[in-house]
Chains A and B, each alone.
Chain A
Amino acid sequence: MEYFLTEQQKLIKSIARRIAEERILPVRAELDEKEQFPWEIIKDIANADLFRIFIPEQYEGMGEGSFALCIAVEELSRACAGVALTYAADALGAFPLLLYASEEQKQQYLPAIASGARLTAFGLTESGAGSDAGAIKTTAKRDGDGYILNGTKQFITNGGEAEIYTVIALTDPTKGARGASAFIVEKGTPGFTFGKKEKKMGIRCSATRELVFHNCRIPRENLLSREGMGFIVTMKTLDSSRPGVGALAIGLAQGALEAAVAYARQRVQFGHPVSSIQAVQHMLANMAMELEAARALVYATAKTIDSGAKDFTEEGAMAKVFATDMAMKVTTDAVQVFGGAGYMRDYPVEKMMRDAKINQIYEGTNQVLRNVIALELLRRKGLRD
């Protein structure tokens, strides 16, 4: 399928693919087994300039857009979704800065993010505020020329490993969702510590931790945009990052499909390779079709964003829901094609199936996002240009 990549996008794809095949593939099982953060690979990704993709040129980035980011995420995910997530979550943590930071803030933080020297994380979720993000309780109380943060964030990707955190906290608890603001908090700030590292079903090399704020003082300069803008920052950030999640799902499914095809071609039962059995062929065909449809949807969404569209909430939600549901199905089917061997940890597909699940949950559960899609759909009365 021709997706019309530019020369630079083709380079991004080939470099990300080489990292995936030469650096990630040989160690992915071990990283998963040991739940080890992939620092060495992050260094390789940084040296290859892939963190520069989503940063504008004036801050030492390459000024590429959503599509280029999706390509990179997809290629890395094809080898390991956990590593790809670590990279994609860095973009997630950077988006609030890219969209809402002041010039001074951008100069201060973006170059280090572009070089991969400092990783980022996005801190929204709390134990009482998942889908109901409005129910957050972390506060940021104005105190002199700064703010004091109190509260605990939960399930934060890159938590503990990242150095730059964009955190959503209530500056005015009386105003509900409108009382939230976005802040930049750096690792090492007194009063900012981390909770335990979560033990997960999948994406085990990705670090997921609580962020604990106890009388954590940050300077006024660390407020992003204005007080009260917290949820707008959140909504726009998540809108921008959804195609990336879609890309992660596509890469993951691609890797699973390739493994399933390779296995089916050489596994002989009843005197024939199982790939010659029609039931298996139909499974593979369905997997391939759904994967390609998801890819086309994610790419189209990314290109829509790159074209400068102001509103892409519905498209982003569709791409994320469709691709992640597809990846769950494709990875599950891949295990099925492998048969008994697929269930064994010595073979790569059971990890892919475990990795797939979270994508249907984070960045907006697929149920909430279906609400979002429906509301947009109804608003436009189902009509299209």
Chain B
Amino acid sequence: MNIIVCIKQVPGTTEIKIDPKTNTLVREGVKSIVNPFDTYALEEGVRLKERYGGKVTVITMGPPQAEEALRETISLGADEAILLSDRAFAGSDTWATSYVLSKAITKIANYDIVICGRQTLDGDTGQVGPELSEMLKIPFVSYVSKIEEIKDKYIRVQRMIEEGHEIIETTLPAVITVVKEINVPRLPSLRGSMKAKTAKIPVWTAADIGAEADKAGIPGSPTRVVRIFFPKREHKSEMLQGTLEEQVAKLVEQMEKII
């Protein structure tokens, strides 16, 4: 099987800390990691390879330092990795990102399955998986918690939704996004780490994948961030007063603001 896994390199903490005195961002000590949800996608890809034979290719769209994340995937069992990097890709929203990934995947060709994590730590949208499937014009299943079987170009999976589990069957090739419940990702192996150190990771630019300039990066993104602001935070400690009814009402009021 030819398995493609899409990953993203993200900041290593879910929060960028705010210095309360200056109300500005603190960036020290935040290292970059492979998006945790993507490690489950990679692990599932490697397991499919071990079960059915084949190859795992990992791709990511990012700046040059995203190469580090790709090397890590090789230490975790990926056979090849490709970095999609070009100034023209910077500032892409999920549509433009999906577009770039779809052009690269089309160039790779002959793939059987594309696996993505369910969302990223920083963007959190979970939109790239489904958007990518439409651009590749192949079926899509989200929140996959188990791959039951692959046979004759059919795949049967368990899908986790709020109300329970669905068993879904679809044709390959397909795009699936996976949840944490699907597996326990392995740790890097010694031989994998040695292989990762010397692996050649090609960099594909917009020209290499035939990405049109007006469909990638900021020009290609239908959404724009128009404003960034820091919500005010105050820590207070308050013993509520009044009758129990009044206190409960106050509690509910505060709780609704938070949740």
Contacts of B190 in A (CB 8 A): 8, 11-12, 15, 48-50, 52-53, 62
Contacts of B186 in A (CB 8 A): 44, 47-48
The verdict on A373 contacting chain B, using a C-beta distance below 8 Å, is no
Chain B 175-198: CB-based contact to A (< 8 A → 1; otherwise 0): 000000000001111111110010
Please tell me the number of chain B residues within 8 Å of chain A, measured between CB atoms.
10
Check if A22 sits within 8 Å of B193, measured CB to CB: no
Question: How many angstroms from the CA of A52 to the CA of B194 in the assembled complex?
Answer: 13
B188 contacts which of A7, A48, A52 (Cβ < 8 Å)?
A: A48
Check if B187 sits within 8 Å of A22, measured CB to CB: yes
Which of B187, B190, B193, B197 gathers most chain A CB within 10 Å? B190
Please tell me the number of chain A residues within 8 Å of chain B, measured between CB atoms.
17
Contacts of B197 in A (CB 8 A): 7
What is the number of contacts between chain A and chain B, taking CB atoms within 8 Å? 37
CB-CB nearest in chain B for A50:
B190
Check if A49 sits within 8 Å of B191, measured CB to CB: yes
A23 contacts which of B187, B188, B193 (Cβ < 8 Å)?
A: B187
Check if A11 sits within 8 Å of B194, measured CB to CB: yes
Check if B194 sits within 8 Å of A18, measured CB to CB: no
Contacts of A7 in B (CB 8 A): 197
Check if A11 sits within 8 Å of B187, measured CB to CB: no
Question: How many angstroms from the CA of A11 to the CA of B190 in the assembled complex?
Answer: 7
Q: How far is the CB of A90 from chain B (nearest CB, A)?
A: 16
Question: How many angstroms from the CA of A15 to the CA of B191 in the assembled complex?
Answer: 11
Check if B193 sits within 8 Å of A11, measured CB to CB: yes
Contacts of A15 in B (CB 8 A): 187-190, 193
Contacts of A47 in B (CB 8 A): 186-187, 189
Question: How many angstroms from the CA of A7 to the CA of B194 in the assembled complex?
Answer: 9
Contacts of B187 in A (CB 8 A): 15, 18-19, 22-23, 44, 47-48
Question: How many angstroms from the CA of A52 to the CA of B190 in the assembled complex?
Answer: 9
Contacts of A12 in B (CB 8 A): 190
Q: How far is the CB of A122 from chain B (nearest CB, A)?
A: 24
Contacts of A48 in B (CB 8 A): 186-190
Contacts of B193 in A (CB 8 A): 11, 15
Contacts of A18 in B (CB 8 A): 187-188
Chain A 8-37: CB-based contact to B (< 8 A → 1; otherwise 0): 100110010011001100000000000000
Question: How many angstroms from the CA of A8 to the CA of B17 in the assembled complex?
Answer: 35
Q: How far is the CB of A145 from chain B (nearest CB, A)?
A: 40
Chain A 295-327: CB-based contact to B (< 8 A → 1; otherwise 0): 000000000000000000000000000000000
Question: How many angstroms from the CA of A22 to the CA of B39 in the assembled complex?
Answer: 15
Contacts of A49 in B (CB 8 A): 189-192
Question: How many angstroms from the CA of A49 to the CA of B192 in the assembled complex?
Answer: 9
CB-CB nearest in chain B for A68:
B190
Check if A8 sits within 8 Å of B194, measured CB to CB: yes
Question: How many angstroms from the CA of A53 to the CA of B197 in the assembled complex?
Answer: 18
Q: How far is the CB of A167 from chain B (nearest CB, A)?
A: 30
Question: How many angstroms from the CA of A239 to the CA of B189 in the assembled complex?
Answer: 29
Which of A12, A49, A62 gathers most chain B CB within 10 Å? A49
Q: How far is the CB of B171 from chain A (nearest CB, A)?
A: 33
Question: How many angstroms from the CA of A15 to the CA of B190 in the assembled complex?
Answer: 7
CB-CB nearest in chain B for A11:
B193
Contacts of A8 in B (CB 8 A): 190, 194
Chain B 197-214: CB-based contact to A (< 8 A → 1; otherwise 0): 100000000000000000
CB-CB nearest in chain A for B196:
A11
Question: How many angstroms from the CA of A284 to the CA of B61 in the assembled complex?
Answer: 49
Contacts of B191 in A (CB 8 A): 49, 52, 62
CB-CB nearest in chain B for A48:
B189
Which of A15, A23, A52 gathers most chain B CB within 10 Å? A15
Q: How far is the CB of A45 from chain B (nearest CB, A)?
A: 9
Question: How many angstroms from the CA of A7 to the CA of B196 in the assembled complex?
Answer: 13
Q: How far is the CB of B48 from chain A (nearest CB, A)?
A: 17
Q: How far is the CB of A53 from chain B (nearest CB, A)?
A: 8
Q: How far is the CB of B145 from chain A (nearest CB, A)?
A: 21
Question: How many angstroms from the CA of A92 to the CA of B197 in the assembled complex?
Answer: 31
Contacts of A44 in B (CB 8 A): 186-187
Q: How far is the CB of B133 from chain A (nearest CB, A)?
A: 32
Question: How many angstroms from the CA of A18 to the CA of B194 in the assembled complex?
Answer: 16
Q: How far is the CB of A44 from chain B (nearest CB, A)?
A: 6
CB-CB nearest in chain A for B197:
A7
Contacts of B194 in A (CB 8 A): 8, 11
Question: How many angstroms from the CA of A50 to the CA of B192 in the assembled complex?
Answer: 12
Q: A residues engaging B (CB < 8 A)? A: 7-8, 11-12, 15, 18-19, 22-23, 44, 47-50, 52-53, 62
23 interchain pairs, CB-CB under 8 A: A7-B197, A8-B194, A11-B190, A11-B193, A11-B194, A15-B187, A15-B188, A15-B189, A15-B193, A19-B187, A47-B186, A47-B187, A47-B189, A48-B186, A48-B187, A48-B188, A48-B189, A48-B190, A49-B189, A49-B190, A49-B191, A52-B190, A53-B190
- Nearest 8 CB-CB pairs, A to B? A49-B190, A49-B189, A48-B189, A11-B193, A49-B191, A18-B187, A48-B187, A47-B186
Q: B residues engaging A (CB < 8 A)? A: 186-194, 197
Given pairs A15-B193, A48-B190, 18 additional interface contacts (CB within 8 A)? A11-B190, A11-B193, A12-B190, A15-B188, A18-B187, A23-B187, A44-B186, A44-B187, A47-B186, A47-B189, A48-B186, A48-B188, A49-B192, A50-B190, A52-B190, A52-B191, A53-B190, A62-B191
